[in-house]
Structure 1
């Protein structure tokens, strides 16, 4: 007992590492860590009597000649192999097959530090092995034992004794499964197995699912209060609490909440309301679709909106609340789309899309998008369906024609987009779902006034409006305005973007006389007002696309509040010389670079070296310093 205890204390980190490596990877890293510690802490003999030690044939100083370590190692191996056995219906589970009572950590997930590619390859290799094969691999690699010594230890822990288990493939089969090769990668077995990736004693801590934990705690508190109230009512004589007085009856219904869930109280705009209304937004969209009178479908959509179940896939753009409607919302659409029943609702602040399969209600989806303050240019279309990389839109009632334009081919003819009588477009390729930027489709809508607007899908319910020109006076963009910068729109995907403006803020003559370059600032504005994303792009002469020179998030540069920008880039001329090029908007009086170089005007070009990181600063006419965009 004393020998085993001393060995466990001295070699505890190594024993825990051994148990962690032998345990089934299917348990997950957090549970493997806790189980490994539990198995090692239970490895001591139960009585004070001396236990037969398994002889260790290694002739290495320290643990190699310690019978206490050999005994504890066998106990740990036996328990780790038992933990990987499947439970049987007609047999009591072994202790190692049950989750450990101690140690336990509540509210945290513990796991070792992540390693590199070699460690990942080794982890995948171990996951593909059986339990005895993992044990053989670890004994040979971590403990540096020979095959004969490995066979004796596996025989001692009973690998061949449980012939009915799936893990008992035999010692010979385990060694054959491991093979003679070392771990993946160029490093040796011991170096990889001793990596921090497999060290359960040096851990990182992260919280569990905080939102779900809070929901469970709230549900438990509500259940406890309800149980106390019911118990008190059952124990009361006669009529329970007695006269109600001025109190509302128990479990009284909330009229406003009930009205919000009543499909008969959904508001519907008149078909021609948009023609007389001073507003041109979603509030004047009429209710369209084949299923606008399907009370059961509308009731399900409203109920899921109010209290979505665990199987409902809920998504919301950043800054969009996903709570229940404050009152009866407005119905925009209800009908079949690509094998699903789709309902679009609007509550004055949000557009909500509910979708369920046509053959049932399982796998429903609920999507929220913020649209408060929308104007005619922002409310021209809403996504009704996505499938196979394509997108369908429901267009506004004032839209007369719809076409698809490839922004990377601005001179190509537009593709006409057929629409149903309800305003639902045919599907077309969505750039939000594409992995490569070989094309970038934009939706071009022409309304009853003849105005034409471009919008593109960025993975949200409402497409982002595309504009061009100075930020304080933008105009609706033409395809040519985005011909060389369209691929930069990928940086604005799924961020709640309302509009993206492209502004050609400077032109610069190249220092080697090879032509003129163009500087473009692209700013994505969100529906929540803040969190705009800014990219400064440099278009060299003859370049097919712009190169990102600088980017920022959340600032006011290149926007309505601060319509100015400054950026710099390192450029290699065709002759092989390196230059620092910088350009600011027209209100920049001079540009300076760290080291003393300065140029009057809003552009600068100086020789530099590859990899240089100079600081660029601009000066406004009133002397105010303007830092470069970062």
Structure 2
């Protein structure tokens, strides 16, 4: 390492340590991150700091390293110091503050972090204000304290009261450990050996919302270093879908006579991870499927074409049902070491997009009420496996919930193969004109691609589609009160424009070839039904429909436009 790099290394190490301060082996992890950052030769210190930020925000949680505490004590933390204030913040908030104190403006610090997670200058300002309040120091005093902090200053613990004959052995062990730590810092094992890393088995128990980043390795072969190395190397050599970032093992075991390794990568917080499945059979070996997840939440993963699914440890009481039935016929599914028994359903013709509905129970290890988790999973390991949510307030109508799932899987309300997680809502229920019967206007929002407008469809009480898909002004995260949707519905004699909106929309109005029609809010929901052209002719389905749009006026004065086609 050159002299200039040594100077940069000290600052990078200080920044990394203060971010990782309350974790396991923070000095070891900070050294590794700083060493990786100094490998950037072009761009000087700003480029090295950008590499360090990427490592801190994308590297998976480290496992427990309790042995180092036998010999070392951390640097003491004075009360009221900057370091003590930082330990009361989350790692992301610490990083935002430290980038600000490293000479960046709030927008520049947000941009540096924004490559890997959603952040803006207000997040940086909030973190900076929090440290100011907790320390009572001005910026210059805080900067001086940070620059004076040397994380390499650790103290050896006092020697144990043991006979003199044992002291030589203890000293020898100490030197072996020190040399091992030095080698670990200079040559990170996950980069040289090619093997994937593993998540701390207890990481998911320390959070109320575990994701794939807290999913521990499962399976009886998870300690087979040779198998894991071959699997990781095979994925890295894949020219079509190689991993991005670090490779983490989810499962390694024997499934139906084959050795199987399931891995995922770490592309950063702005991208969702990919999952790869590596098989070793008697006459073949290699990566057989790679799928990018719709979201980073823990979800079921089909193992090859085995009709078995990998289940994260925080989901229990697994049940499954085929969505084609009029009502759910839940079948309990046994799970052993994270893998389900094979499902007994088989089909080869397209039916309900070849998806099965799973219902599970999530009991947070950190406390709280258990929650029901619903997921749609395919018989194709390369297809998406979206989780299904219902908009606030939670839908407690089991009949509607199953009708909505049936419409999504079997009636074309959503295309599941490339879908992200889905959020469903009943926007309106009532009687259609001209004897059309009772119907529900269902909205379907997907989490991927981010911010994409939702879709809507009219369904019957048993989930049959009564219209083609229509448009909404919503997306996965928008407020349920401001959602507006419009569809074209055809009775026996004519077309009708059916539009509805949530309680925060006070007025709906049509513009276009149908003329101006308006309807205000009634009983909590704005509803507008406008008669369209007659549905005569030999092919009424393909008849030209009027060009029309629906304008939704919200209580705060905002307006949005919805296209029913």
| TM-score, normalisation: structure 2 | 0.53
Tell me what 1:121 maps to: none
Task: Write out per-residue CA displacement over residues 267-289 of structure 1, whole angstroms, 9 at most, x where no aligned residue.
Answer: 33343342234661223322221
TM-aligned CA distance change 1:438 to 1:341, over 3 Å: closer
CA contact (8 A) 2:315 2:363 kept: yes
TM-aligned CA distance change 1:457 to 1:539, over 3 Å: same
CA contact (8 A) 1:453 1:476 kept: no
CA contact (8 A) 2:453 2:474 kept: no
**In structure 2, C-alpha distance between the alignment counterparts of 1:357 and 1:291, rounded to whole Å:** 12
Tell me what 1:342 maps to: 260
Spell out the pairing of 1:117-196 with structure 2 (5 A cutoff): none
Matched, 1:272 2:221: no
Task: Write out per-residue CA displacement over residues 520-560 of structure 1, whole angstroms, 9 at most, x where no aligned residue.
Answer: 1112222x525x473321135x77501343346xx963543
Correspondent of 2:281 among 346, 358, 363: 358
TM-aligned CA distance change 1:591 to 1:259, over 3 Å: same
Tell me what 2:417 maps to: 494
CA contact (8 A) 2:429 2:438 kept: yes
C-alpha RMSD over aligned residues: 3.6
Structure 2 gap segments, 5+ residues each: 1-185, 268-272, 365-369, 521-526, 536-542
SS in 1 for 2:450: coil
Tell me what 1:381 maps to: 300
TM-aligned CA distance change 1:544 to 1:259, over 3 Å: closer
CA contact (8 A) 2:293 2:420 kept: no
Q: Who wins on radius of gyration, i.e. which is larger? A: 1
1:519 CA displacement: 1.2
Q: Size of the alignment, in residue pairs?
A: 345
Matched, 1:627 2:562: yes
Spell out the pairing of 1:360-509 with structure 2 (5 A cutoff): 360-362=283-285, 364-370=287-293, 374=296, 378-387=297-306, 391-409=307-325, 411-420=327-336, 422-428=337-343, 435-437=350-352, 441-449=356-364, 450-458=370-378, 459=380, 460=382, 463-469=385-391, 480-483=400-403, 484-486=406-408, 487-488=410-411, 491-495=414-418, 497-509=419-431
CA contact (8 A) 2:243 2:265 kept: no
**In structure 2, C-alpha distance between the alignment counterparts of 1:620 and 1:441, rounded to whole Å:** 39
**In structure 2, C-alpha distance between the alignment counterparts of 1:345 and 1:258, rounded to whole Å:** 17
Correspondent of 1:305 among 235, 239, 251: 235
Task: Write out per-residue CA displacement over residues 349-374 of structure 1, whole angstroms, 9 at most, x where no aligned residue.
Answer: 424323224104446424142476x3
1:304 CA displacement: 1.1
Tell me what 2:248 maps to: 330
CA contact (8 A) 1:454 1:478 kept: no
Spell out the pairing of 1:229-308 with structure 2 (5 A cutoff): 259-260=190-191, 262=193, 266-277=196-207, 280-308=210-238
**In structure 2, C-alpha distance between the alignment counterparts of 1:302 and 1:409, rounded to whole Å:** 41
Tell me what 2:485 maps to: 566
1:465 CA displacement: 0.4
**In structure 2, C-alpha distance between the alignment counterparts of 1:442 and 1:568, rounded to whole Å:** 27
1:466 CA displacement: 0.8
Spell out the pairing of 1:519-598 with structure 2 (5 A cutoff): 519-526=441-448, 529-530=450-451, 532=452, 534-539=454-459, 545-551=464-470, 557-561=474-478, 563-573=482-492, 577-586=493-502, 587=505, 589-592=507-510, 594-596=513-515, 598=517
**In structure 2, C-alpha distance between the alignment counterparts of 1:300 and 1:479, rounded to whole Å:** 48
1:444 CA displacement: 0.9
CA contact (8 A) 1:591 1:604 kept: no
**In structure 2, C-alpha distance between the alignment counterparts of 1:288 and 1:620, rounded to whole Å:** 52
SS in 1 for 2:454: strand
1:333 CA displacement: 0.8
| Greater relative CO (CA pairs within 8 A, separation 6+) | 2
Task: Write out per-residue CA displacement over residues 333-352 of structure 1, whole angstroms, 9 at most, x where no aligned residue.
Answer: 11122343221223434243
TM-aligned CA distance change 1:485 to 1:588, over 3 Å: farther
**Where do 4+ consecutive residues of structure 1 move more than 6 Å?**
255-258, 429-433, 473-477
SS in 2 for 1:498: coil
CA contact (8 A) 2:302 2:309 kept: yes
**In structure 2, C-alpha distance between the alignment counterparts of 1:324 and 1:438, rounded to whole Å:** 28
1:478 CA displacement: 5.3
Tell me what 2:529 maps to: 604
1:591 CA displacement: 3.3
CA contact (8 A) 1:431 1:439 kept: no
SS in 2 for 1:485: helix
CA contact (8 A) 1:260 1:302 kept: no
| TM-score, normalisation: structure 1 | 0.48
CA contact (8 A) 1:492 1:533 kept: no
CA contact (8 A) 2:439 2:458 kept: yes
1:578 CA displacement: 1.6
**In structure 2, C-alpha distance between the alignment counterparts of 1:504 and 1:431, rounded to whole Å:** 32
